[in-house]
Amino acid sequence: MELLSKIKNLADTQPESLAFISQNDEISYRELWNKSEEVATYILQLELTPSSPILIYGHMEPQMLIAFLGSVKAGHSYIPVDTSIPMERIVKIIESSKTEIVINVTNQPFFFENSSIRIININQMEVDPSLPVPMDNWVKEDENFYVIYTSGSTGNPKGVQISANNLQSFVNWMVEDFHISGGLRFLNQAPFSFDLSVMDLYPSLASGGTIFAITKDMIAKPKILFEELKKSNTQVWTSTPSFVQMCLMDPSFNEKLLPYLSVFLFCGEILPVSICQQLKERFPNAKIYNTYGPTEATVAITSVEVTDEILLKFQTLPVGKAKADTQIVLLDENQQLIPEGKKGEIIIVGPSVSKGYLGQKELTEKAFFTYNGMPAYRTGDAGYFQQGNLFYKGRMDFQIKLHGYRMELEEIEHHISKSKYVKSAVVIPIYQNEKIDYLSVLIIPAEHSFEKEYQLTSAIKKELGEVLPAYMIPRKFSYHEELPITPNGKIDRKKIREKVLL
């Protein structure tokens, strides 16, 4: 695979250059390559079921990268799982993906009761790779490179399979269209279990750059975050708009803090005009790009540079044009093409579209198909074209983005409704200035012995904390004797929304 060959080449030509820096640790290209050879050799000795995925558990440790490359060099895709994901959810991922081993890169033990799964700490792999891992073993072409789990409406996360070809198509686009020349310093904000992290990880590794990782501890302590940002020498900034908005709240977030910053790359949610205006004032020499795409089409497939002209011209920013190897088609509910200017479902057609959800035939068939002989994905996003630019017009279902995190309201409702304290529940997103500010849940409670509502809320929240990541737990809880129903017997979300907003 071209990407892996490039990294190998960099390990030879610039062995001492740093590939990755995190708060307390760093790793050079040579170390990354050699240590991932050891991991690959170890994995090959285990004789796992061919191409079975390997779950890699950790946060922003350099060992995460070593384990990723070790897996793919041994011919296995990897499933990145951040330490913020609760154990019950991890168990579901292990079971549905048929993972045979977990590589734990943290210093904490990883408890898992199923004895048929091997749990290996990366520091305890003892091998002596006297020979390099043959390239024939590397993941190639249509074989999976990674599988990223996203929220699913049935209550279970679904695993998006990204092949070597999918990833190569994405990396080629990034390196060519965004003028990513060698040796740049990239900022990594997103944990590896979100595909936004791929936007800096592989373009950086393919071009001999260095990734500077932001950890959850830094995000929790803005003072430390800003001290680290100052040290980072970031040139390419990749984050959600929500993250940069948080940084902008501090007036010291400007050119003085990050004097080398030349490119902002945003993806994952609506990029508000106001954020771009502030960034242009504070970083007059940096370019800003809005990019769009779902995990299912490998990170992003459209882009636009947000110039002064674009800011003057549009009240809502476009998401731009598709990359050269990709086509965007807008279809109506009868699967007919939509004329320019009209709104339709965004269909992505091209080589970075995934083959589907791992082990989920039905879900895959619903969302993935072939269009003019190419892989195609129904995004569930509404959009329209204006003067050749694609504009995003919200979702067609209950998938939402909150602070950059993708989630299905139905998945949250499923878990709340399973609580012994709950008869039924509806989750409503609360908007502020066209952006979701927080989630509110309306609950018909089951019988319980709590005297006060806040006690009931904390009991439900405690249960939820075991199955859902913190960012999916609603902020506001309210209790009702009944919830409005539509004439055909469904929960009337429209009425509920009106009720919540009163």
Site for ligand AMP, rule CB under 6 A = 150, 195, 267-271, 290, 292, 294-295, 319, 379, 381, 392, 395, 401, 406
Lay out the sheet containing 101-104: strands in order across: 118-121, 101-104, 54-58, 78-82, 144-150, 158-163
Torsion of CA 304, 432, 491, 455, to 10 degrees: 130
Nearest to 344 by CA among 383, 318, 371: 383
Tell me the DSSP string of 476-502. Answer: EEEE-S---B-TTSSB-HHHHHHHHH-
In the complex, what is the shortest distance from the CB of residue 193 to ligand AMP, in angstroms, rounded to a whole number? 11
293: helix, coil or strand?
A: coil
Nearer to ligand AMP, 378 or 461 (CB): 378
Nearer to ligand AMP, 22 or 379 (CB): 379
In the complex, what is the shortest distance from the CB of residue 379 to ligand AMP, in angstroms, rounded to a whole number? 5
Nearer to ligand AMP, 140 or 401 (CB): 401
Nearer to ligand AMP, 138 or 243 (CB): 243
Beta bridge partners, 391, equal 384
In the complex, what is the shortest distance from the CB of residue 195 to ligand AMP, in angstroms, rounded to a whole number? 6
273: helix, coil or strand?
A: helix
Nearer to ligand AMP, 267 or 456 (CB): 267
452 HSE (CA, 13 A, CB side): 3
Query: What is the Cα–Cα distance from 441 to 58, expressed in whole angstroms?
Result: 31
Q: Are strands 399-402 and 405-408 parallel, antiparallel or unpaired?
A: antiparallel
In the complex, what is the shortest distance from the CB of residue 376 to ligand AMP, in angstroms, rounded to a whole number? 14
In the complex, what is the shortest distance from the CB of residue 99 to ligand AMP, in angstroms, rounded to a whole number? 21
In the complex, what is the shortest distance from the CB of residue 143 to ligand AMP, in angstroms, rounded to a whole number? 22
Nearer to ligand AMP, 239 or 290 (CB): 290
Nearer to ligand AMP, 161 or 290 (CB): 290
CA angle in degrees (0–180, nearest 5) for 106-132-118:
35
CA angle in degrees (0–180, nearest 5) for 295-346-276:
70
In the complex, what is the shortest distance from the CB of residue 294 to ligand AMP, in angstroms, rounded to a whole number? 4
